[in-house]
Structure 1
Amino acid sequence: MARRPVFQEVTETSPKATPPAGGMIDAGHRGARGAIRLWLIVIFVLVAAMIALGGATRLTGSGLSITEWKPVTGAIPPMDAAAWQAEFDKYKLIPQFQQVNADMDLAGFKQIYWWEWSHRLLGRLIGLVWAVGFLGFLAARRIPTGWVPRLLLLGVLGGAQGAIGWWMVHSGLSGEMVRVASYRLALHLGLAFAILGFIAWYVMQLSRSEAALLRARRAGEAKLFSMTTGLMHLAFVQILLGALVAGIDAGRMYTGWPTMGGEWIPAEIWDATLGWRNFFETPALVQFIHRMVGYLLAIFALVVFLRARRSPHPQTRGAYLAMIAAVAVQVLLGIMNVIHAAPLPLALAHQVMAVALFTLILRARHNARYPYETSVRGTIR
């Protein structure tokens, strides 16, 4: 080996420096984070559409028009006059037709049938999109380390949602009921929002690398995150209460605001013969609780927003600003629904806004836990 002069520049003969390798987090199996995130966004949009379509199905009184649960063959609608008549004859056997829709003809039945059929078809499509994506990513070994149980959970919850949906429908097919049981409707809607919440959180987690999330968590705001977690839970309770209101059409009674039928506390708020069932079956009480929790939610959201204004992270402050704006819109929509007895367009807008608000609360919560750092020039890092 040739001797190097004492004063020779080291860079003249030194090999090119190798960039440092990432840490253990980066060295792990990263998988197709971007592709999985896109797949989850598609499922999120489909689930949000499912919630809106489910609301329309309930508000149009269409949920009991299909009296059988056929997960596979049920995807094919009646194809001829005989098949349509057979479906209509099955509907005629349930209490809803006999007590509410006895004057309905075949043309009217078809209108409610298509709402329920579309709702179920969309549910099947969501299951198919999940299964194809999950099995495809699994077979290609492109799922990041630790993400298989999370993505599998979505499929399990989706399957449970289908079973609960039929359990809900079955409650209105016999006995004295002319609609589905309100508490089963609340469970069905609550699980839909839980699935939506998991998907939204996973999408936000996949938007950055594991290393970036670990760094961001060190700068997280624990108090703000805790307060927003409480707000998220309260919003979820309000969503369940909204389902109870829709389940007994309580939103179309006691119109007027801020009073209920001219009274601050309606006289019919409690029926001694019902006992605990008042919380599910008495329209005055169900709507009263929904209103009171709505006020509490708005006040708590304002408190959380004011706390978030002290955040040193501009992205976090922006997320909470969007959240409080959504709260204001949702409160206004709620009041408009009460005043106008929940017509279909307003009621659907209220339900869709609930999806937007819940998602924005989750986004603000994620930013509190994993804030985006900004440089002195205002660029996001």
Structure 2
Amino acid sequence: MAVAASTEGMPLARMPRTQSLSAVRAWIYCLAALVVLMVAVGGATRLTGSGLSITEWRPVTGAIPPLTEQAWTVEFEKYRQISQYELVNKGMTLSEFKFIYAWEWGHRQLGRLLGLVFFLPLVWFWARGAIKRRLALTLLGIGALGGLQGAIGWIMVASGLEPGMTAVAPIKLALHLTVASIILACLVWVAAGLKDRSQQPGEERAAGVAPRILVGLILFQIALGGLVAGSTAGLSYNTWPLMDGALVPPASALFVMNPWIENFVDNVILVQFNHRLVAYAIVAFALWHAWSIRRLAAASKTARRATAMAGLTLAQMVLGIVTLLLVVPLWAGLAHQVFAMAVLAMAVVHARVSLG
């Protein structure tokens, strides 16, 4: 209590270094939570077919939604000019348009909020000495990546506004989701590295490069999941473990397109098959990693985290199978996407802490 009383009201620059870093770490984890929320809203926007409802990129003025019936009519008329309306939603009412508009507007608003929650505290912490040069430069790099992510989001939307297109390009959706995941991973990595664990009881065990390989595999799988979402591959071959009656589809089905490389993006059977294969690989690798660490030091914190990661990857695979079998209902699709972010975050913490 005496320590708390002595620091009450004290400027942040004069607080103990550990107290300053605790505040910074809490702020960064708050940013990470906002990124996960944005991924969730982005997933709902995609699953409700709302992503093309706003046909312009107005980073500043777009923060204000239509406030009058006349303004709503103008926005609706812009939407009626694109192919998605003509080929998918022709006859949509204004009230139905307001529903899909709300999802896309909310997604963009979260992006604006995330920018404010990032830069305002960054300036505040930096001015008071809580953030030093190396950490500041790292955070500025993450902020720049966030700005790039906004541009990637618009490039993705613009791909769906092209004549004849009724959805965004799968490769651009996958890129948008992957960059969001990289931002989340960077934030969690930095935050996890700020915690002082020198006084904490419990044995750590060197885990080598395996935790970082696991992070890389999960990021790759998220990218493949973006391709599945963008090509709506989850709406086909809704059986497991077989695909169209076979454990491994024939090469004639997997590589039906020419040139062959296009199959990895546009052929729904290969896109889904790749997502399945990498899921199996991740679970197998996580189980092996947990077994190998527990064999050497079963009581260590590293072993407990590795075991937890094995359980999380297995649970995510089961959730993915359920989502597939149910033909991607909204709740399951969102749960699968958000849980992927949780698995990634936990893998990053495991990798960062294992470095010491």
Normalised by the size of structure 2, how large is the TM-score? 0.90
Question: Which residue matches 1:373?
Answer: none
- Structure 2 counterpart of 1:333, one-letter code: L
Match of 1:138 among 116, 126, 132: 126
- Structure 1 counterpart of 2:343, one-letter code: L
Question: Which residue matches 1:174?
Answer: 162
Question: Which residue matches 2:290?
Answer: 305
- Would you say 1:205 and 2:193 are equivalent positions? yes
Question: Which residue matches 2:236?
Answer: 253
Question: Which residue matches 2:72?
Answer: 84
1:40/1:199 contact within 8 Å kept: yes
1:29/1:144 contact within 8 Å kept: no
- Structure 2 counterpart of 1:259, one-letter code: L
What stretches of structure 1 of length at least 5 have no aligned partner?
1-27, 371-381
User: Structure 1 pair 193/96, CA: closer, same or farther in 2 (3 Å)?
Assistant: same
Q: Deviations over 1:7-58 (max 9, x none)?
A: xxxxxxxxxxxxxxxxxxxxx9878211111111111111110111111111
Question: Which residue matches 1:35?
Answer: 23
2:233/2:271 contact within 8 Å kept: yes
Match of 2:141 among 153, 170, 181: 153
Shift, 1:271, TM fit: 2.2
Partners in 1 of 2:130 and 2:314 — Cα distance?
42
Q: Deviations over 1:317-348 (max 9, x none)?
A: 22112211111210110111111111111111
Shift, 1:263, TM fit: 2.7
Shift, 1:264, TM fit: 2.6
Where in structure 2 are the equivalents of 1:310-329 lying within 5 Å?
Answer: 310-312=295-297, 314-329=300-315
- Would you say 1:93 and 2:76 are equivalent positions? no
Where in structure 2 are the equivalents of 1:225-240 lying within 5 Å?
Answer: 225-240=208-223
Partners in 2 of 1:322 and 1:311 — Cα distance?
17
List structure 1 runs of 4+ shifted beyond 4 angstroms.
28-31
Shift, 1:103, TM fit: 2.3
Q: Deviations over 1:227-285 (max 9, x none)?
A: 12111111111100000000011001111111113233446333234532211111111
- Would you say 1:366 and 2:349 are equivalent positions? no
Partners in 1 of 2:22 and 2:212 — Cα distance?
27
- Would you say 1:60 and 2:82 are equivalent positions? no
SS at match of 1:262: coil
1:319/1:367 contact within 8 Å kept: no
2:205/2:303 contact within 8 Å kept: no
Partners in 1 of 2:270 and 2:208 — Cα distance?
33
Partners in 2 of 1:142 and 1:225 — Cα distance?
31
Question: Which residue matches 2:7?
Answer: none
Question: Which residue matches 1:113?
Answer: 101
SS at match of 1:201: helix
Shift, 1:145, TM fit: 4.8
What stretches of structure 2 of length at least 5 have no aligned partner?
1-15
Partners in 1 of 2:205 and 2:283 — Cα distance?
25
Shift, 1:314, TM fit: 2.4
- Structure 2 counterpart of 1:45, one-letter code: A
Where in structure 2 are the equivalents of 1:256-275 lying within 5 Å?
Answer: 256-266=239-249, 268-273=253-258, 275=260
- Structure 2 counterpart of 1:326, one-letter code: L
Partners in 2 of 1:29 and 1:72 — Cα distance?
37
SS at match of 1:176: coil
Partners in 1 of 2:205 and 2:282 — Cα distance?
24
1:62/1:116 contact within 8 Å kept: yes
Once the two structures are overlaid, the 10-residue window that deviates more, 358-367 or 308-317, is: 308-317
- Structure 2 counterpart of 1:353, one-letter code: F
Partners in 2 of 1:290 and 1:195 — Cα distance?
22
Larger-Rg structure: 1
- Structure 1 counterpart of 2:322, one-letter code: M
Kindly report the root-mean-square deviation, in angstroms, between the aligned alpha carbons of the 2 structures.
2.1
SS at match of 1:32: helix
**How many residue pairs are counted as aligned between the two chains?**
337
SS at match of 1:146: helix
2:233/2:272 contact within 8 Å kept: yes
Percent of residue pairs bearing the same amino acid type: 42
Match of 1:279 among 264, 270, 286: 264
Q: Deviations over 1:133-177 (max 9, x none)?
A: 111112223213521111111211110110110011110111322
1:309/1:317 contact within 8 Å kept: yes
Question: Which residue matches 1:5?
Answer: none
